[in-house]
Amino acid sequence: MSVDDEQLIKDTFGRGFDAALGLRLTDVTADLVAGTVEMSEQHHQPFGIVHGGVYCALAEGTASIGGFTWLQSSGIGGTAVGVNNNTDFLKSISTGTVSVEATPVHRGRRQQLWRVTMTDGDGRLVATSQVRLQNIELPEGVAAPDVTAGA
């Protein structure tokens, strides 16, 4: 299953903290979530480079979107929330486009493990993450968006 309707992606995932970071999703499937962020001063720590928390947040956001998409497309239902995020920062940058790709390593009944890579405009790895997700039921009164509509 893929979410190939750009408006559906924006309506479903283009809100909240991911939107505040400037994450622009380019591909959402059960096996890959990809996107880009234009890094600027709003992403900096006090010394003028991208704050490590930005990379952690991008990793958890894209992994969670992938986990949710897989749960919905597989018929399991519910959603996935981050319970562990291990991010290594490999190269500091100040500005430019960062590409993010999240892919599954393991998907089970209770938990999922996703690998996330973040590269700069020259394709150099700037950060890599491993995010463990817990599969949970949606909170009471919350309806899952229909990510199969554009598939």
Which of 38, 60, 101, 137 is labelled catalytic? 60
CB contact at 8 A, 63 and 116: yes
Number of neighbours of residue 143 by Cβ within 10 angstroms: 6
Does 38 participate in catalysis according to the annotation?
A: no
The catalytic site residues sit at 60
